[in-house]
A and B are shown apart, each in its own frame.
Chain A
Amino acid sequence: MTTVARFEVEFTRFLNAEGEATQELPAFARDPATLIPLYRAMQLTRAFDTKAIALQRTGKIGTFASALGQEAIGIGIAGAMRKEDVLVPSYRDHAAQFMRGVTMTESLLYWGGDERGSNFAVPREDFPICVPIGTQVCHAAGVAYAFKLRKEARVAACFLGDGATSKGDFYEALNFAAVWRAPLVVVINNNQWAISVPREQQTATPTLAQKAIAAGIEGVQVDGNDVIAVHDAARKAMDKARAGGGPSLIEAISYRLGDHTTADDATRYRDPDVVQQQWANEPIRRLRNYLARIGAWDQEKEESLLKECTDRINAAVEAYLAIPPPTTTAMFDHLYATLPAALLEQREAAQWFASHEGGSSHG
């Protein structure tokens, strides 16, 4: 017998749960000026989540998917992207979206049931969030192919959850991207839960990163609660993709501290005590402890940041609530580049009935 191939999956962590460096930090992380913006962005995301859930509970937005406990993943990855790169997110990725320049008002508008929330003013080529599980990985591979074909030094970054690694779309997209050597970075937010199905019931592989190896892609595992580890892996993967080295996969291990969405009640299927224990690993406290330890953060800065987050979020909520609902005909406006004649009658009828709401029931 001859061994024809052998593989390894590496796990990286720089900060432990207490925020102590467990090994020498990468160069970027030695400058607090690089880490503080990441910290601020994580806090903003967490404060936004709290507010968004409150807005859902009071009927101001619809179903919302919180990123509680997973902030380091979106922030660490998107923080390594360049403006010209393209983000292809799933539905729990507002942390990354905010880093890209999507506004909190736009996010609220989307979750509030308005397509205009996906018409981002800043990252004009970023994809809207993807709801059908794992399908976005195929889109991201196609985006990356377009960059390669046009010889543009741009990267497509795509997010998915641990459950999505069971989908054929995920495997097919990795396979295509690998064959094409396309500039793609695939990020698995392994938060241990796909609604009610735990990670160990999702897949029998010891890591999710190794699924990349089957496609001929480098797959690494990082502590997804350590923003330094996430950011370091992201920088390496993006540099490699930009230099023509092809796709990479990063499995970021975290924990979904909240419900799947506001429509979910996780106490039905998991022990609250276990969730409570997982709070010890969460990413924000970890980085704050580190920054405090090196003298780059203190209580005063913390209080000032939290107030700033509250003010910014309140302003975003106010702006969202002030946006009038779309006109009835908006649902026809962007169906095609030019509305086909066959739809004009329906458009007129929709408009007529909307303007006669509460009037005669006879058309």
Chain B
Amino acid sequence: MAELNLVEAINRAQAWEMAHDPSVVVLGEDVGVNGGVFRATVGLQEQFGPERVIDTPLAETAIVGTAIGMAAMGLKPVAEIQFSGFIYPAMDHIWNHSGRLRNRTRGRLSCPLVVRSPCGAGIHAPEHHSESPEALFAHLPGVRVVIPSSPSRAYGLLLAAIRDPDPVIFLEPTRLYRLFKQEVADDGEALPLDVCFTLRAGTDVTLVSWGAMLTETQAAADALAQEGIMAEVIDVATLKPLDMPTILESVARTGRCVIVHEATRAGGFGAEIAANLAEHGLYSLLAPVQRVTAWDVVVPLSRLEHQYMPSVERIVAAVRKTLEGA
């Protein structure tokens, strides 16, 4: 087993699948010779050639639009959008076409497409490089939305995403790309999509999060454990479709839930989880559900980005609120 960071795991998953499935192609800006601006595709063009690892012209609409055409013809394109702040020109194709092609043709044509894109703040990046747009995609019927939170889950989930017969928006937290390494068996084993992962068992409160925010969420769980408050931590991993049974089962035991996400609050995906808890888990709740999110502001430039992003302290405070009077 190799010690890999998250971006290396992304790289190995693509290499594995390209080696084992000739229909997989990678396309995007700077993905070939340069290996991607984050090096997520480094070495792939050397190994698989420029026809399967395509340095495209600089146009996000056509990167996803052409990938849909390829996918409909049986290829499995993995399209990289260099930063999620630049994904919006491709929204027309993601929304109007990728998630609809199978339905529109009654399954005659389909769209086995993966759109990979870095997301999130916290690396002192320039403007438009720090957004967390997952809720926009999670609103779309017919697509999947996946966000990994560790190298091993990134590897297994990306393999699953490429093998999935439907479009997957795969958002990669840039803050995690090189934050830590993990033993990853580069053995082509995929992880299941559409399920949450329970990262830590607990009895007093359920912390629900995804992506880079699991770093703060886990740290908050550590801090709370020092005080004897045992938090269960769930990595949602696949936001769409959402594995609500895992969350409901946990909340049924703990009676309390704090949802943590880096995206802004209004219309954020935390609202969807909270609404589901209200609909299906209200009688298990001993306290109102809390959301810890970014403020509803434009992502600030780097000097304020850490005040924008949820902190360990804010998560701990939210947990305390659920325990008031307990």
| B229 is an interface residue with CB less than 8 A from chain A | no
Contact with B along A115-126 (1 / 0, CB 8 A): 110111000110
Contact A172-B61, Cβ < 8 Å, known A143-B70, A335-B142: yes
Q: Contact: A141 with B108, CB < 8 Å?
A: no
Interface residue from A135, A156, A336 paired with B97 (Cβ < 8 Å): A135
| A9 is an interface residue with CB less than 8 A from chain B | no
| B301 is an interface residue with CB less than 8 A from chain A | no
CA distance A139 to B111 in the complex (A): 11
| B127 is an interface residue with CB less than 8 A from chain A | no
Q: Contact: A173 with B62, CB < 8 Å?
A: yes
Contact A172-B68, Cβ < 8 Å, known A334-B103, A335-B102, A342-B244: no
Q: Contact: B61 with A138, CB < 8 Å?
A: yes
Query: What is the chain A residue whose CB lies nearest that of B142?
Result: A335
CA distance A343 to B166 in the complex (A): 15
Number of A-B contacts (CB under 8 A): 141
Shortest distance between the CB of B12 and any CB in chain A (Å): 23
- Contacting residues, chain A, for B59 (C-beta < 8 A): 168, 172, 175-176
Interface residue from A124, A135, A139, A335 paired with B108 (Cβ < 8 Å): A124
Q: Is the interface of A mostly helix, strand, loop or mixed?
A: helix
Contact with B along A140-160 (1 / 0, CB 8 A): 111111110100000010000
| B75 is an interface residue with CB less than 8 A from chain A | yes
Q: Contact: B165 with A169, CB < 8 Å?
A: no
Shortest distance between the CB of B162 and any CB in chain A (Å): 14
5 contacts between A and B (CB under 8 A): A115-B106, A118-B106, A139-B66, A169-B61, A175-B59
Tell me the count of chain A residues lying within 8 A, CB to CB, of chain B. 43
- Contacting residues, chain A, for B96 (C-beta < 8 A): 132, 135
Chain B residues in the interface with A (C-beta under 8 A): 25, 51-52, 56-57, 59, 61-62, 64-75, 77, 89, 92-93, 96-97, 101-110, 141-142, 164-166, 194, 241-245
Contact with B along A172-185 (1 / 0, CB 8 A): 11011001000000
Query: What is the chain A residue whose CB lies nearest that of B165?
Result: A337
- Contacting residues, chain A, for B71 (C-beta < 8 A): 142
Contact A336-B142, Cβ < 8 Å, known A127-B109, A141-B62, A342-B244: yes
Q: Contact: B106 with A141, CB < 8 Å?
A: no
CA distance A342 to B272 in the complex (A): 13
Q: Contact: B75 with A139, CB < 8 Å?
A: no
Q: Contact: A127 with B241, CB < 8 Å?
A: no
Query: What is the chain B residue whose CB lies nearest that of A154?
Result: B73
